[in-house]
Amino acid sequence: MYPRKFSYVAPSRVEEVLRLLKRYGDEAKLLAGGHSLLPMMKLRIIGPRVVIDLKNLRERLSYIRDGARAVRIGALTTHAEIELSDMLRREIPLLPETARLIGDMQVRNMGTVGGSITHADPSADWPVAMLALNATFTVQGARKRLVPASKFFKGPFTTALKPTELLMEITIPKPPKGHGWSWQKFERKAGDFATVNVAVIAIPDGKSRVKDVSIAVGSVNPVPYRATGAEKMLRGKRPDAELLKSTAEAAAEPAEPTSDLRGSAEYKKWLTKVMVRRALEEALSRAGIPVEVVQHA
Amino acid sequence: MPRRRTQRPRPAAEPAQDMVSVRVRINGVEYSHVVEPRLLLVNYIRDVVGLTGTHVGCDTSHCGACTVLVKGLWGDGWMAVKSCTLLAAQVDGKEILTIEGLAKNGELHPLQRAFWENHGLQCGFCTPGMIMAALGLLLRNPNPTREEIKWGISGNLCRCTGYVNIIKSIEDAAKEMREKGVTI
């Protein structure tokens, strides 16, 4: 399968990329790792007239930097680089775990975090993880602007990025040491996109209570969402099994999945509850928050 | 009336090109061609260079039959990639290793020997990709557990064997590569 004919350019400076985007506008597509773009071009779902290959920007836009309060990741960093980062495994383990379950080894060697985020597939993994972690995206156009993950995803394959803008960097505030986390991805087979994916970060207060929690859910709506209602139910609480169950139900409430090859709408809605409950159990246990089991008479 | 000469702006040179030059080193041999940018790496390797050991299976980056190693994509090391989902233009200037480049002086690479001796194949269609993926894995993790091997080749489909002998082959090859200090 060949993509439609296109012309090709591989600039080596960000300014050049921006100039090219201005010149070609909607006719151009940016190529990062190409593992979302090229399949779509080969299947002729899209046929851009111009492909702007970002391979010569790798040196500038591929990095994982540790800071006092946040970690910054360059948009062209591959999934594999995040998967293999010891620093991230220590500081924000949700990130390497999310990376580890994307596609397969070969795909992770090419695919990039920025490519996945800007592609905004409703079943993609990074948007869910970034939403749970309160990440901020640095976007460069005529001027630089910061877009929080919660305002970035607008619809399936649609983001707040203008045709003349480039995603440069992702800033992820570090959750406090001792936080609990969980990445739950349900896939039909190894390497598949998620049927449902859930990210949870749980912060303990040191007295067996939940100080703060974030729950992000993906694949069941046009864009991933934060289950803010469910988060409220847990904050300040010493959770028991009953509370986790009702929290998971509340978290699945906004889900309006559609039936497709990965399952019926009804099944996916039910699966959302299960995955949120599993994610909460795992995250709370990692945070050292015991979950009291309710004794039914 | 003087005639007004309208001066049309000269069109600026088109920065994006319809043909691109690709220079790569495959299995130690230099190749240089001018190709369409839409030419995929796997088609470049098979149809332009003529090395047909790299297979096209699903052509949608699922099956892994097209797996080759590319050097220096990031870091300095060799990395397994699916050549059906890469433009030849993306690897311009890089070194590439395909299944044909593994045997040295008529001696099979430990992975090839192990697949042969452990009967790690039946029809053989997936084998070049399977071996290249296994090599990509072993270069990163020379002593993988059985679970890590399974995870490492999860992007490579075999429809004949059920994978048991493939995993055995990779374990066997990993041992020999460690003992003899063989990499590529």
Which CATH number fits the domain that encloses residue A97?
3.30.465.10
Residues of chain B with C-beta less than 8 angstroms from the C-beta of A58: 74
What's the structural domain count of chain A? Answer: 3
Question: Is the same domain home to B24 and B97?
Answer: yes
d(CA A278, CA A252): 13
User: Which CATH number characterizes residue A51's domain?
Assistant: 3.30.43.10
Range of the domain at B164: 110-178
pLDDT, one tens digit per residue, over A206-240 is: 999 999 999 999 999 999 999 999 999 999 999 99
For residue A45, what are the CA distances in angstroms to A4, A9, A48, B51? 10, 21, 10, 30
Task: Tell which of B19, B85, B94 to mutate to test the A interface (max A CBs under 10 Å).
Answer: B85
Shared domain for B42 and B83, answered yes or no, is yes
Residue A135 in any domain: the answer is: yes
Sheet containing strand A7-9, strands side by side: A7-9, A50-53, A28-31
Over residues A145-151, the mean pLDDT reads 98
pLDDT surpasses 70 at B10: no
CB contact under 8 A, B87 and A35: no
The CATH number that applies at residue B129 is: 1.10.150.120
Q: Which of A55, A85, A106 to mutate to test the interface with B (most CBs of B within 10 A)?
A: A106
Q: Do residue B82 and residue A107 have CB atoms under 8 angstroms apart?
A: yes
Residues spanned by the domain of A125:
61-173
Task: Average the pLDDT over each of B10-14, B56-60, B64-68 and give the range with the smallest value.
Answer: B10-14
A96 and A79 Cβ atoms separated by less than 8 Å: no
Q: Domain end: A57, A72, A97, which one?
A: A57
ipTM rounded to 2 decimals: 0.94
A80 with A108: CB under 8 angstroms?
A: yes
Nearest CB neighbour to B155, from listed A31, A50, A107: A107
Sign of CA dihedral B94, B97, B100, B104: positive
For chain B, the domain total comes to 2
Residues of chain A contacting B59 with CB distance shorter than 8 Å: 1, 42
Looking at the structure, do residues A207 and A278 belong to the same domain, yes or no? yes
DSSP state letters, A171-238: EEEPPPTT-EEEEEEE-SSTTPPPSEEEEEEEEE-SSSSEEEEEEEEESSSSS-EE-HHHHHHHTT--
pLDDT at A203 over 90: yes
Average confidence score pLDDT of chain A = 96
Instruction: Tell me what pLDDT residue A126 has.
Output: 98
Q: How many whole angstroms separate alpha carbon A108 and alpha carbon A103?
A: 7
The pLDDT of B102-106, averaged and rounded, is 95
Across the interface, whether the CB atoms of B89 and A8 are under 8 A apart is answered yes
Q: Which residue is associated with the tokens 């990062």?
A: A32
At A296 the pLDDT is 65
Q: A42 touching B, CB under 8 A?
A: yes
What pLDDT sits at residue A294? 74
pLDDT at A8: 98
Of A2, A9, A58, the CB nearest to B74: A58
What confidence score (pLDDT) does residue A231 get? 98
DSSP secondary structure string, B37-103?
TT-BHHHIIIIII--TTS--SSSSSSS-TTEEEEE-SSSSSEEEEEGGGSBGGGGTT-EEE-GGGS-
- Mean pLDDT to the nearest integer, A149-172: 97
Burial of A24 (0-12, 13-18, 19+ CB in 10 A): buried
Chain B CB within 8 Å of residue A1 CB: yes
Work out the pLDDT band at B2, boundaries 50, 70, 90: low
How many Å lie between the alpha carbon of B32 and the closest alpha carbon of chain A? Answer: 18
Whether B6 is covered by a domain: the verdict is no
Q: For A71-108, how does the pLDDT look when each residue is reduced to its tens digit (9 = 90+)?
A: 999 999 999 999 999 999 999 999 999 999 999 999 99
Does the distance separating the beta carbons of B137 and A191 come in below 8 Å? Answer: no
- Per-residue pLDDT of A242-263, as tens digits, reads 999 999 999 999 999 999 999 9
Query: Which residues does B17 contact at the CB level (< 8 Å), separation at least 6?
Result: A7, A8, A9, B37
A155 in the same domain as A130:
yes
Report in angstroms the alpha-carbon separations of A60 from A55, A168, A217, A232: 10, 9, 32, 40
Q: Rounded distance, CA A276 to CA A271, Å? A: 9
A184 forms beta bridges with: A198
pLDDT at B84 over 80: yes
pTM of the model: 0.95
What's the confidence (pLDDT) of residue B8? 60
Residue for token pair 């379950």? A101
In which band, very low, low, confident or very high, does the pLDDT at B25 lie, cut at 50, 70 and 90? very high
CB A183 within 8 A of CB A129: yes
Query: Could you tell me if residue B3 is inside a domain?
Result: no
